[in-house]
Structure 1
Amino acid sequence: MAKCLSSICDVNHNRKEDFLKGVIALPARRALEKEKIDSLEKLSDYSEKEIIQFHGVGRYTIEKLKMYMKEHNVSFKPENYINKQ
Structure 2
Amino acid sequence: MAKSLSSIYAVSHVVNGNFLKGIIAMPARRSLEKEKIDSLDKLSCYSEEEIMNLHGFGKNTMEKLKNYMREHQVSFIENNKPGF
Secondary structure of the corresponding residue to residue 73 of structure 2: coil
RMSD (CA atoms)? 1.6
Q: How has the CA–CA distance of structure 1 residues 25 and 47 changed in structure 2, closer, same or farther, with 3 Å as cutoff?
A: same
The sequence identity of aligned pairs, in percent, is: 63
Matches within 5 A, 1:5-84: 15-16=16-17, 18-80=18-80
Using structure 2 for the length normalisation, give the TM-score: 0.75
Runs (4+) off by over 3 Å = none
Query: Between Structure 1 and Structure 2, how many residues are aligned?
Result: 68
User: Which of structures 1 and 2 has the bigger CA Rg?
Assistant: 2
Secondary structure of the corresponding residue to residue 74 of structure 2: coil
Using structure 1 for the length normalisation, give the TM-score: 0.74
Higher helix proportion (structure 1 or 2): 1
Residue 33 of structure 1, CA deviation: 0.5
Listed as ranges, the gaps of 5+ residues in structure 1 are: 1-12
Q: How has the CA–CA distance of structure 1 residues 14 and 34 changed in structure 2, closer, same or farther, with 3 Å as cutoff?
A: closer
